[in-house]
Amino acid sequence: MFRKLICHCIMLTAVTIMLVSVTVASDISADVEGILLEIRQDQPVPALSWLKRVKSINVGCAHYRGSHNGIEVTVETHPDSNRASSVLLQIPGVDRTKQVLPAVKRVIGPPRYSSPKESHYGWEWPKYRGASVHYIRGNKSGDGVTVVSLFYQ
């Protein structure tokens, strides 16, 4: 009887962990989609409580940084403008390209280049515009960063 109770507890714990993992994964996708819908290229950078203006890297451009639900966000504007020219999202940890790719596709369309084996997807448009979703491996397993970037080249 005691063994049966322990077995049920172990199975319940395993199912709970799996459900939490799926929920977290889907939240990352929804968060990425929400950020990309809110911070649009060629639109004014929105006033978001978690996105703060920091010292600019490029002359005449405004630079913003923030963190939203574990996603590091960096935004830069066109020179002498409040319109976003680049948006960079960084998600630390394991490779999440397959989790965030559907969200990115819903916002900007299907990639023009894809290499699922390499965890790399890319977009290019006229007027030097580009985007990518890719994973940068770290020194240890799970020590990398999933990157979503939209930018003028």
Q: Give the whole-angstrom CA distance, residue 149 versus residue 152.
A: 10
pLDDT digits (tens, 9 = 90+) for 11-45: 544 444 443 444 444 499 999 999 999 999 889 99
Q: Are the beta carbons of 102 and 81 closer than 8 angstroms?
A: no
Q: Are the beta carbons of 77 and 85 closer than 8 angstroms?
A: yes
Q: Is the pLDDT higher at 15 or at 100?
A: 100
Given a cut of 90, is residue 10 above it in pLDDT? no
Q: Which helix (H) or strand (E) holds 67?
A: strand 63-68
Q: What is the pLDDT of residue 153?
A: 63
Query: pLDDT exceeding 70 applies to what percent of the chain?
Result: 82
Q: What is the pLDDT of residue 152?
A: 80
Which pTM value belongs to this model? 0.80
Q: What is the pLDDT of residue 20?
A: 40
Given a cut of 80, is residue 113 above it in pLDDT? yes
Closest CA to 114 of 123, 126, 105, 103: 123
Q: Is the pLDDT higher at 22 or at 75?
A: 75
